[in-house]
Structure 1
């Protein structure tokens, strides 16, 4: 092993070589390595993200205290600045860089000495070397964490329970910052609107995505769903940007792919939220419904929906007590229930619009440079069964 850094690149893009090496060398020096090797590998798994080229970086060597290894995960920004003219990739990286370099530290400081270790918000460690072009984190997969397969139609119940508890803590810390650091909250969180621009370009993409779902439906449910399409185009923006309801810091993309989990003997024991690229100031009920309709099926919701809603709110209430905040003062139960009720159509919006984006077959996952309006592909039968269940559920509720 050489005393100087040796970079072993594997399938990396030439224009990324220098910056990846600089990241690793800076971290190696700050971690007090005296000699070390660095290996960098591009992760080529398709379909797991539209906005990043992911890499694993391993630093192995010696410090004055002995042998040491640091495992990193890097999300490197793709070249394009915008997605379809309605979503800024640069802004997504700005938000996630802000989370890992600043907001996560505030979360940790607020919880220190108040929240028991086992009840804190779970977070992956971010590194100071992160920039608005590359987010650098601990590689949690080396510690036994993993994500569910993105094509997982129904997540395990325990996974959903743990995820809702974590979501309540994200929202709760937003309320805590508002109460304890109001000036900071107003200057840094309240200014973050949902980053999607609901313009004509977005409408074209939305119509294309919805048409993919409709073409995959059987004739009867397709006819029922077609009349609902105009509502998606008009109300989705309202749900994300409505200012009349109580708001706090929201995750914005709280689904299976953005949640790490650990299992012991086949049982999910821990969940860690990741991917804070869409954090915004909005209605927390939207995050809750986004998870429930993105990761459960009709059977699970029929059996557990009310209990899961209660679990989220009870966790929020309990968590806020650590900071001597009464949930009734910041988010009364009647306000939460009203927000859930006012977003009663959100689940069907997800099924028709988001599902073809979430569950595109690996070979059909749209590249950022593609014209999505020309795409058409067959969705998995289990996914379409889930869509038809949601249509049935909404018809029974009188919403179709």
Structure 2
């Protein structure tokens, strides 16, 4: 069987199951594949479905959906643990997300690794949701909309943990760590550790305080264990379900009729049970400029906490002292290096400096290459970010 025939067989099989899953009121359904997009970890198929609804006297209806399927490239599947990532997202839609919540509607999931797993989601572009035109240095209004939505997301975890504790921790037990598993070998840890010291190298070359550079180099040269894995360990009572990859690329935005900007989260493949700093530091370090954080950090954190507090009170949670603004600010200060380490590797790629495929080299060589992306310009951005974290009190337990 040819590759085209194999795909058509898979596609028809999946679509028949999706249509069946839509319910017994659907008849005379037809579907059409309009386009497909290959991204690093998956392939997205845009599908248009037409059918008649028997409960509405055969009225014609249409649905636009996106089928998400694991990449067919074996190297990427193994390197990124794609099986576990699809498992987590399927788990999210099957037993955590509810239809009445602010998530993309899921029509169907199928777990069949390595390449035939699928998640069928509503195409919310048709509802007016789109990616921010910025990949980094997000404007304040987009930052606030995203931060408020992650506040609601964290709030959902707190509410379930308090009101459905057994169910919540059953879900937590099922989640697979996909990025910073402490059981990985030392070579994999190098992928994190190599670029993490870039800012310190720059500061040292600029004649910055040697004691500061020595202490931060000792931490960041062991960033996988000393920062990433350590920060991910859940600390009560603030531990909740975190997105795990909270960035502009995993947030969609829509301008409502009243002119307000509304955000919706997507891609829950890296779910993790940890404290809010995992998501907050990732977004602020990777998606916001140093200048905006310097001027608006506390406004952003207040917006996050106000949204979280309202969510908890609306859900009937009255014992909210443990989720105080000060407690969340302390949590951020303890773990903010988490986002900085991610930015040390990924910010150069976001800014478009990367012109080498991972397939062209081994990962250690690729990380050495990533450490040089953007030259002194990016090194200075990261160095300023590190010094800013120091000024906000985020490094005091390392110094």
Residue 272 in structure 1 maps to residue 255 in structure 2: no
Q: Does the aligned pair in 2 maintain the 1:245–1:339 contact within 8 Å?
A: no
Aligned to 2:388: 393
Aligned to 2:120: 136
Q: Does the aligned pair in 2 maintain the 1:172–1:319 contact within 8 Å?
A: yes
CA distance in 1 between counterparts of 2:379 and 2:189 reads 23
- Greater relative CO, 1 or 2 (CA 8 Å, sep 6+): 1
Aligned to 2:33: 39
Deviation at 1:396, TM superposition (A): 5.0
CA distance in 2 between counterparts of 1:361 and 1:15 reads 37
Aligned to 1:96: 89
2:104 to 124, 134, 146: 124
Q: Does the aligned pair in 1 maintain the 2:242–2:279 contact within 8 Å?
A: yes
Aligned alpha-carbon RMSD (Å):
3.5
Secondary structure of residue in 2 paired with 1:336: helix
Stretches of structure 2 that go unaligned for 5 or more consecutive residues are none
Q: Does the aligned pair in 2 maintain the 1:250–1:287 contact within 8 Å?
A: yes
1:220 to 187, 199, 206: 206
**Mapping for residues 119-198 of structure 1, pairs under 5 Å:** 121-131=101-111, 133-149=117-133, 152-189=135-172, 192=175, 194-195=177-178, 196-198=180-182
**Distance change in 2, residues 1:86/1:213 (3 Å):** farther
CA distance in 2 between counterparts of 1:357 and 1:386 reads 14
Deviates more, 1:237-246 or 1:356-365: 356-365
Deviation at 1:395, TM superposition (A): 5.8
Aligned to 2:363: 372
CA distance in 1 between counterparts of 2:69 and 2:288 reads 31
Q: Does the aligned pair in 2 maintain the 1:54–1:73 contact within 8 Å?
A: yes
**Distance change in 2, residues 1:370/1:20 (3 Å):** farther
Secondary structure of residue in 2 paired with 1:189: helix
Deviates more, 1:91-100 or 1:326-335: 326-335
CA distance in 2 between counterparts of 1:295 and 1:302 reads 14
CA distance in 1 between counterparts of 2:246 and 2:271 reads 10
Residue 204 in structure 1 maps to residue 190 in structure 2: yes
**Distance change in 2, residues 1:98/1:357 (3 Å):** farther
Cα shift readout 1:272-327 (whole Å, capped 9, x = no counterpart):
10000111111112211211112111111111101111111111111111121025
CA distance in 2 between counterparts of 1:317 and 1:363 reads 44
**Distance change in 2, residues 1:288/1:134 (3 Å):** same
Q: Does the aligned pair in 1 maintain the 2:242–2:275 contact within 8 Å?
A: yes
Residue 74 in structure 1 maps to residue 67 in structure 2: yes
**Mapping for residues 247-266 of structure 1, pairs under 5 Å:** 247-263=239-255
CA distance in 1 between counterparts of 2:145 and 2:174 reads 29
Residue 338 in structure 1 maps to residue 310 in structure 2: no
CA distance in 2 between counterparts of 1:280 and 1:174 reads 11
Deviates more, 1:133-142 or 1:71-80: 71-80
Aligned to 1:51: 41
Cα shift readout 1:224-277 (whole Å, capped 9, x = no counterpart):
575653242322210012446631111111111100112479x77221100001
Stretches of structure 1 that go unaligned for 5 or more consecutive residues are 1-11, 109-120
CA distance in 2 between counterparts of 1:13 and 1:394 reads 52
Secondary structure of residue in 2 paired with 1:364: coil
**Distance change in 2, residues 1:52/1:84 (3 Å):** closer
Q: Does the aligned pair in 2 maintain the 1:216–1:379 contact within 8 Å?
A: no
Deviation at 1:329, TM superposition (A): 5.0
CA distance in 2 between counterparts of 1:357 and 1:197 reads 23
